[in-house]
Every structure is written in structure tokens, then in C-alpha cells.
Amino acid sequence: MEQIQETLKRLFQTEFSKMVSVITRLFGLPYIETAEDIVGDTFLQATESWAKKGIPPNPQAWLYAVAKQKTLSHFRRTKIFNTKVAPQVFLQEETRQRMARFQFSMEHIKDSQLQMMFAVCNPAIASEAQVGLALRILCGFTIEEIAEAFLSNKETINKRLFRAKEKLRSEQVKLEMPPDQQIGHRIDNVLHIIYLLFNEGYYSKTQNQVLRKDLCLEAMRLGMLLTEYEKTNLPKTNALLALMCFHASRFEARQQDSDLVVYAQQDETLWDEGLIRQGLHFLDRSAGGTQITTYHLEAKIASWHCIKEDRAEKWEAILASYDQLLQINYSPAVALNRIYSLYRVKGAELALAEVQKLPPIHNHFYYLLLGELYQHIDPQTAKAHLQRAYQLAKTQTEKAHIRKKLTSLG
């Protein structure tokens, strides 16, 4: 029974989004809950059937066959077709054609998921709700997993998802690809949501390491899906994929026994060389356009961080990229990272002069940077800043890292 549960859990995450997307394509986006219910019933039937008969030779095909049977049965017997679907279809022949096209082929699944991606990432929905909806519909995460990722509860997440789906209905969002002339603009929001999904995993506050890694892998899968369609396989898509590959390559080295391992102390033998090569591949493909995006610059910075050796060329290149990044996408975090790079290139005194130009930033990263810059100039001041950083840090992992720095200062 344990093996059945593990198999079903794995299949739920890999197949849920595919099945919901394909079924929703048949019914229409307003009936996305119907698609979710059918897929849920399919997995429930699998639990009962497999417990008696064992796991079938091709469990994926079994799920598709049962889901298709349930979908067609539902399509024929409910009032949805008679009262809501039929008036929009107009011709009985068109209905038969739609039914004939309904299948779980790889091409149909890919097309349906791409359309769903653009629907879920519609700008009409609040960004946080888009992330939750993407985790549920595009990535097949359970409500419990989404609640844990957001450090929230099931009731809150259910309400958020309900409001997001209502917005899809009220805005009459359709499950279709945008017109070719709009894809370049609409994809910006899709890429942003994928970026946020990845960050939810990479900078996650949850202690569930499996969940953190799964979030990152799902974001990368969605990015890969975009590269498989010519119109969305854009330089900025490849730049984001490169960025995620570089970061993910150091995933194992960042965390040891629930403690955050800072970059300087990471064991580079734990870095994933295959992912680094993939990152370089996508970074090379991203160079084909005329636009430099934040993803291009962040990917370039991340690529240098995949070289452990602290040579001058490395930090000079990182500093130049941060200078460029500040011009197109200023944020306090980018400003602080740029000052740290300046410190590595030109020393603490010049970096401190740059800090003085910034408005106070009341988060632990700001005081952590000041502690770093003052450590050899004025250890007592450095200690005071690190203590303030410790007070502001939000996770035990961050606090443990700052505690180590305080200990090293005596």
C-alpha cells in the first residue's frame, strides 16, 4: 500500500496539471473546477482500484483512460452542455469535432498547458494569487503544500484560489494563446510568475527541503515548456532558464543540516556541473535578441558565481552587471548587492561611502552588509550592526548564519 501511495503522489504532481489543462480546454476556463473534480475522482478511483488489483503496467495511461472516460461521461450527462456549453458551440458538428480532438496526446497536453500558463498568469489576477494558482493548476501541488510554501493555512489558500478563479470568469479569460503580436508583451507576466515560483523555493522559509526543491524544479519545467514553442522561445525566456539553472546548480551546497551555507563557505564539489552547463547553453541562446532584460543580467551574475575562484575579473564583471541592472530595475536588494561587489573590487572604505548615499533600509541584509564592511575597520561597530541584523532576521537559518559571524568577531 505504501508503494501505491508513493506512486500516486508522484503521478499527482506530474500528471495533475496536464489532465486539468486538457479537460479545461474541452469545457472552457469557467469550468476549471469541474476539470479539477474529474481529475480528483480519477486519482480516488486509482487509489481504490490499485489497492485491489495492484499498480497497472502503465499507470499514466490508466489515469488518462479513466479521466477521458469520466470527462466524456460528464460532458454528455450534465446540464453544462445543454444550458451553457451548447449555446456557445452553435453547431452539433463542431461539438463532435471537439469531442474527437479530446485526447491525452503529448502534443495536445503541451498545447493545453501553454494555453493554461497564459490564462493563469493573466495580469487581471493579483500577483500573489497568480503564484498560488500556478502552483495548483500548472504544477499540481496540493492545497496543503501551497499553504506550507506560503507559511499560511488551507482556508486562506482556498479563498485566494477561489477569488482568482472568479476573476478569470469575470474577466472572461479564455484558454487560448494570445495573438502573435501580443505574445512578446504577455510573456513578461508569465516569466515573472515563473521567476517568483522559483524564488519561493530557492529563498523559501519553510523547513521542508523536498518542497523547496520541488518548487524550483517546477518553475524550471514551466520555463522549458516555453522554449519548446517557437513563439515563446525568446531570448528573455532562455535568460530566465539560464538564471534558474545556475542557481539550482548550487542548491545542495546551500543547505547542510537545515543550516544556510553562505557562498564563500560552500563546497563546490556539491555543485551540479550538468546544470551549470545547461545554464551556459541557455545563456548563449539568450544572446540572440536586441533587448537586455533583468534576467540576462542576473543570469550573467549567477554564471560568475558558478566559478568559485575569487579572481579580480570575476568581481569586476559582477560589479559591471550590477551597475547595469540598477539602471533598468532599481531595488534596494540590487543596490546592496552592487555595494558588496564594489567592496570586493575596491575595498571597504569606498563601499561604505556608497552605503552612506542610500536611504536606510530596515532589513537584516542592510545591517549584515554594514557588519561585513566594518569588520576590519571597527569591530565594535560591526558587532552592533550584526546584532541589529540578528534582530531583524526572519528565519532561524538566517539567525544561525549571523550568530556565526558574531562569534567570529568575539
- Per-residue pLDDT at 189: 93
Residue 217 covered by a domain:
yes
Q: Which of 104, 123, 147 is the last residue of a domain?
A: 104
- Per-residue pLDDT at 239: 97
Distance CA 355, CA 377 (A): 15
SS3 182: helix
Average pLDDT by stretches of 10, the chain with 410 residues = 86 91 88 92 94 92 92 72 54 57 78 92 87 90 88 90 90 89 90 92 75 88 94 96 96 77 84 96 92 96 92 94 94 93 95 91 91 93 94 83 86
CA–chain centroid gap for 63, Å, is 26
The owner of cell 572604505 is: 349
Q: Which of 233, 267, 282 is the last residue of a domain?
A: 233
96 shares its domain with 201? no
- Per-residue pLDDT at 282: 97
Residue 252 covered by a domain:
no
Residue 397 covered by a domain:
yes
Which residues span the domain enclosing 407?
366-410
Q: Are 236 and 293 in contact (CB under 8 A)?
A: yes
- Per-residue pLDDT at 359: 86
70 shares its domain with 121? no
82 shares its domain with 152? no
- Per-residue pLDDT at 258: 63
160 shares its domain with 206? yes
Cell of 369: 552588509
Number of structural domains (the chain) is: 3
Nearest to 68 by CA among 23, 17, 18, 115: 23
Residue 253 covered by a domain:
no
- Per-residue pLDDT at 338: 96
Distance CA 386, CA 406 (A): 7
Q: Which of 104, 136, 166 is the last residue of a domain?
A: 104
152 shares its domain with 76? no
130 shares its domain with 155? yes
- Per-residue pLDDT at 362: 85
Residue 66 covered by a domain:
yes
Cα torsion 85, 37, 112, 126: sign: positive
- Per-residue pLDDT at 190: 95
